[in-house]
Amino acid sequence: MRVVLLAGGMGTRLSEETELKPKPMVEIGGRPILWHIMKIYAHHGFKEFVVALGYKGEAIKRFFVDYALINSSFTVQIGSGDVLRRDASQEDWTVHLMDTGLPTNTGGRIKRLSEFLHSGAFMMTYGDGVANIDVQALVRFHKRHGKLATVTAVRPPAR
């Protein structure tokens, strides 16, 4: 089952952080929020992600293109430009990075990902939706009830 991550919004409530980068790239503990969300899904066995890009999507693309090199040892042949990775990345994820347009709303973003969603059920999370959820239990709940969609919400603690 694929996981759709909506990462195209403007992130206006975090404007001091999102002026230079999209909200899913705001760091927690030295890693982007998006990485933490993906790590949670991967822990539960879901390792194929479709990321709907919009606002500052190039920062997300850059992160994933550079991820393997930044997180591994490698040798560079200066003359040819060849790069030989010396160790594998810890993550064995497949990440599809799809431009879905800057002004596109949530439904439009999902529609633009239809080529990846034709195989049936998928999970979807906003690019800032970090939560401690047993994803396998959620999928079992969804299948057991046979509904079109299952929504999970978290009530933040009172301030």
CA 114, 117, 119: angle at the middle one, nearest 5? 135
Q: What is the pLDDT of residue 46?
A: 96
Closest by Cα among 121, 116, 120, 114 to 141: 121
* 125 in a structural domain: yes
Q: Show the domain range for 25.
A: 2-131
* 96 in a structural domain: yes
The number of distinct structural domains making up the chain is: 1
Q: What is the pLDDT of residue 101?
A: 94
The tokens of 118 are what? Answer: 């034709």
**Predicted structure pTM score:** 0.87
* 140 in a structural domain: no
Is the pLDDT at 137 greater than 90? The verdict is yes
Task: Identify the band that residue 90 occupies on the pLDDT scale cut at 50, 70 and 90.
Answer: confident
Query: Which residue type sits at 61?
Result: K
When comparing pLDDT for 95 and 74, which is higher? Answer: 95
* 148 in a structural domain: no
